[in-house]
Amino acid sequence: MASVRGTDYLDFGYRNGGPVEEIFHTHSRYEIYYFHEGICNYLIGDRIYSLSPGDLILMNGMTLHRPKVDKRRPYIRTVIHFHPSAVKPFLELPQAVPILEPFRTLANFRLSLEGREREQVERLLHAMHERKHAGGPAANSRVLLAFADLLHVIYELCLQPLGSRQEFSSEKERTVQQIVTYVEERYMEDLDMDRLQDDLHVSKYYLSRLFKEVTGVTIFEFLYRRRINEAKILFLLDPALSVTEVCFRTGFKHLAHFSRLFKKQVGLTPEKYRRSMREQA
């Protein structure tokens, strides 16, 4: 994955043909997966997608997913991981359209592209790749512009399924998506299982067991990953913020707890990470 400098919350690998770990995994960001070539069954939650070149999959990330690849054939794919903060400026424009709605409403969804639609998506993916490697002061901004254009194209392609409000494949997925949405909206608040139980009207023991079963992580592992990711974004956007400020802004009560989890997830202490962002600014 190649990260765009100045946008730690957007990274992508274009036409990656390298080996892949065929293990179930989750992550806290949205994902766009585009299948160029090969033989692959993609397992997402309890669904299996038999892929054809031109298939594009939108993923909310927290559903367990993994590819099953025929290693006798080249496996070529483009993968983009991003945080909603990456496109926040485009959502605040006059007459902005809700380009993140397909990820929030459809959760995990496949588009099978042909003809002009396929050409349009592949052109924008190639433009992101070219602009990233062109360098220069405007490179990152131009990557984001191409990416925003791609999200607009995807939004238009999803208008019909959005209108029909595709059902979740199981009641379990529906409940887990409710939990993910709840945590996403309140991750900076003081959360505990009793509050989730009261607000979601579901037993906290059932919520805990179901979330781990579907995603492979606990609710609080997801919550802490979300908070640490937001801390990285805050350090990136404003390296002048102190570690203590970022700790409390992201919902942590204790600096030691924040620092320990940050180093475990990022590989650096918050102070070292903050210093590296200041050096890049």
What's phi and psi for 55, nearest 5 deg? -80, 135
Which of 55-64, 209-218, 241-250 tops mean pLDDT?
Answer: 241-250
**Beta-bridge mates of residue 165:** none
Which of 7-16, 19-28, 149-158, 214-223 tops mean pLDDT?
Answer: 149-158
List, for residues 94-112, the tens digit of each pLDDT value.
999 999 999 988 878 999 9
Q: Is 37:75 a contact under the CB 8 Å cutoff?
A: yes
Q: What is the pLDDT of residue 233?
A: 78
Q: Is 93:146 a contact under the CB 8 Å cutoff?
A: no
- Which pTM does this prediction carry? 0.60
Q: What is the pLDDT of residue 158?
A: 93
Q: What is the pLDDT of residue 7?
A: 46
What are the chain's domains? 2-164 (2.60.120.280), 170-281 (1.10.10.60)
Distance CA 161, CA 148 (A): 20
Assigned token pair, 54: 């031109």
Mean pLDDT value across the chain: 86
Q: Is 228:262 a contact under the CB 8 Å cutoff?
A: yes
Range of lowest pLDDT (35-49, 72-86, 120-134, 141-155): 35-49
DSSP sequence for 187-239: TTS---HHHHHHHHTS-HHHHHHHHHHHHSS-HHHHHHHHHHHHHHHHHHH-T
Distance CA 44, CA 119 (A): 26
* Residue 6 predicted with pLDDT over 60: no
* Residue 24 predicted with pLDDT over 80: no
Burial of 57 (0-12, 13-18, 19+ CB in 10 A): buried
Q: What is the pLDDT of residue 280?
A: 66
Q: What is the CA radius of gyration of the chain?
A: 19
DSSP sequence for 201-212: TS-HHHHHHHHH
Distance CA 237, CA 42 (A): 35
* Residue 203 predicted with pLDDT over 50: yes
Work out the pLDDT band at 46, boundaries 50, 70, 90: low
Contacts of 9 (CB under 8 A, 6+ apart): 29, 82, 83, 85, 86, 229, 232, 233, 236
Q: What is the pLDDT of residue 204?
A: 95
